[in-house]
Chains A and B, each alone.
Chain A
Amino acid sequence: MSINKRFWISLVLSLPMLVGMILMPFGRTIPGGAWTQLGLTTIIMLVAARPFWQSAWASFKKHHANMDTLVAIGTLTAYVYSIYAMLTAQPVFFESAAFVTTFVLLGQVFEERMRNNASNAVEKLVDLQAKEAEVLRDGHFVRVPLAEVVAGDTVRVKPGQKIPVDGVILEGTSTVDESMVTGESMPVTKHVDDAVIGSTMNSNGTFLFRANKVGDDTMLAQIVELVKKAQNSHAPIQKLTDKVSDIFVPVVLSLSILTFLVWYVFLGASVANALVFAVAVVVIACPCALGLATPTALMVGTGRGAKMGILIKNGEVLEAVNDVRTVVFDKTGTITVGQPQVTDIVGDRSRVLQVAASLEGGSEHPLASAILDQAQTDQVVPQTVDQFQAVEGQGVTATVKHQSAFVGNHKLASQAEVTPALAQQAAQLQREAKTVVYVGVADQVIGLIAIQDAPKPTSREAIAALKARGLKTVMLTGDNQRVAEAVAQDVGIDRVIADVLPSDKADHVAALQADGKVAFVGDGINDAPALTTADVGIAMGSGTDIAIDAGGIVLVKNDLRDVDRALALSRKTFNRIKLNLFWAFIYNVLGIPVAAGVFFTLGVTLSPELAGLAMAFSSLSVVTSSVLLNRAKIQSHVSVA
């Protein structure tokens, strides 16, 4: 029989006894008196409470005890004693047995609902998947179930359809709402060669893409797997409750017997009174609240993180985040974009860019691609060039429209005429750790292009938020000191450790750990050892799979501001765990002495019914507090969430 049914039966049969209790002070009793109570309680015991006995007995045989043991012993004691009292014409307390059963079942009914509520984050994620895909088979697009899509398939996505699997666009453009996977609220424009993520929503265009990850390999499937593991992981703080739960029930039973002995033997109470205290002790002690405190909060916290695009891999990470003192960043790709970009153009912008782009058209140099990207963004059309010549270590020369032209470094420009103003600006740009490219036509430098692996626009804000939290920020990079310091100054990093060999990153992290726990934020393969060494490894979602595996937290959105949000969420979740544990312990630490009648002389006592209610309330309050974590405000110093 379901808990729900047992609860309703128990409630309906308890109601007449409740009425009787209320009427008692007015000198009225329910018809049939003790006999009616006996009848009602017997049915409750047999129908609603029997599963407690069965479970208690089964575990007793295995040398275990659980909350059912407590409920079974509590209710059975009250019930059996009342029968004895009835036969010897003494006051009975059948209603205790009935009410305790009702309240405990009430607690379980709610708890079951809440627990299902806490665990549905994963189901919601899985529900995001498209059910079908339009795949090119034998020259035609046919609709096939998602499971039949294989890597390499060409898939068509129409406006308003979900992208079924991960892949790369072959044809067409569109904007895609990726919020369900990355948490990024702005739609993203996708062109040919851009990656698309399965289960995200295509909005306005039709496009074809090649599937490259299907089934369990898709980003969503991997996120689901990570969230599942995180939700069921153990936080170290839980070890305490594991230990407590092993000895809890037998200790409570012993305390209850002691309570009876003290009242009956030493304080001269009647058997009935001594039993009431003993039963109350058994009933109020609820190990469930202790057991539920950590897992439910972990479940809700990690589930909420997943919705925000922050994947927290396990409970250990949550706990470690709490003591982090220093946040160490990798530079390239984490603080900076990871690719050189044109930051400044000095001179006639379009002319300088046009000449530079025309000359660099055939070059493979990374700086050339930065210039060509900028030309494309500015919609500058390169001209055809003749007599193209690469000058080793200096740049390139060619003729454009019958005029000689060059693009290169200061060595190449030294033969040409540079105005003092331009020379001054070049020096200034160099001080900012930018690479300066001179553009010249007919032996005259017409402008400068400054190129840098620029910080991401959000980096500054992200680091300010961490500093506001009182954390020390450090940048670790293989780049030279001057470049590193310029970037650090730009984004506001406290300390720079430059010229670090990839293999030494982990050692530097370990050295920083001397001053307290360290979080490391990185994305590359070379960051993996540092991510593992750090107390909290935070991997950027765009990073390599190895980095994502090594990190304890993954930022799906690649937004550095999420570091602060991840810290805020982890702290919030961990504090909620502590709060839950505190309440669960307080219930028992305060509840047991009160129930045992320690405060009897102060007039504070707890009847078994109230003890049952308190017990139901304790597990319920813990689960509720965890579920409320979903609504709790995540205090972040970043302006928009």
Chain B
Amino acid sequence: MLKISVLIVGLAIIGFIFWWFFGKHAVATETAVATQTGQSVDVEVNGGYSPEKIVLKQGVPATLTFTRKDASSCLDRVVFSDFGINQELPKDQPQTIQIDTSHAGQYEWACGMDMFHGSLVIK
């Protein structure tokens, strides 16, 4: 009887894992407020990126400020492969990254190990 209960609980946890990680969940998105001089977005790095999706206006100089709050070495670099940016993120020190917004499109960024991803939309 005990074993049956353990089995059911175990399978339930597996079910939960699949639902939690693979189910459809809303992604935190932020649209930068563009002024004449530029646009900027703060990104907190803690177990991933928040926001995970950033929308920028084309043609306005953009600054993204990444602050890593997570001790994991997985997240200690942020890589924008389309822009040739590979920025080290020392813990708790905000790092600014200039983004060239002259070309519209969807770009990806990732952590140094390519485990965590974020996306950047320029339009």
Contact = CB atoms under 8 A, between A and B. Distances in A.
A254 B113 contact: no
Interface string A55-67: 1111111111111
B47 A60 contact: yes
A229 B80 CA distance: 9
Contacts of A57: 47
Interface in B1-46: 3-4, 6-7, 10-11, 13-14, 17-18, 20-23, 25, 28, 46
A45 to B, nearest CB: 14
A59 B47 contact: yes
A542 interface: no
Contact of A234 (B7, B74, B81, B112): B81
Chain A binding surface, main DSSP class: helix
Contacts, number: 124
A51 interface: yes
Nearest to A52: B72
B94 interface: no
Chain A interface size, as a band, is: 35 or more
A291 to B, nearest CB: 4
A56 B80 contact: no
B73 A65 contact: no
Interface string B47-59: 1101010000000
B79 interface: yes
Contacts of B10: 257-258, 260-261, 265
Contacts of A551: none
B74 A67 contact: yes
Given A64-B47, A68-B72, A241 B114 contact: yes
A64 B74 contact: no
A264 interface: yes
A66 B115 contact: yes
A288 B113 contact: yes
A238 B108 CA distance: 14
B85 interface: yes
Interface in A254-278: 254, 257-258, 260-261, 264-265
Contacts of A254: 14, 17-18
8 contacts: A62-B28, A231-B84, A232-B84, A232-B85, A249-B21, A250-B20, A260-B10, A291-B113
By Cβ-Cβ distance, the 3 closest A-B pairs, closest first, are A58-B47, A59-B47, A51-B71
Given A55-B46, A64-B116, A265-B7, 17 more contacts: A54-B71, A55-B75, A56-B47, A58-B46, A58-B47, A60-B47, A66-B47, A66-B116, A228-B84, A228-B85, A232-B79, A232-B80, A232-B81, A245-B114, A261-B6, A265-B6, A288-B113
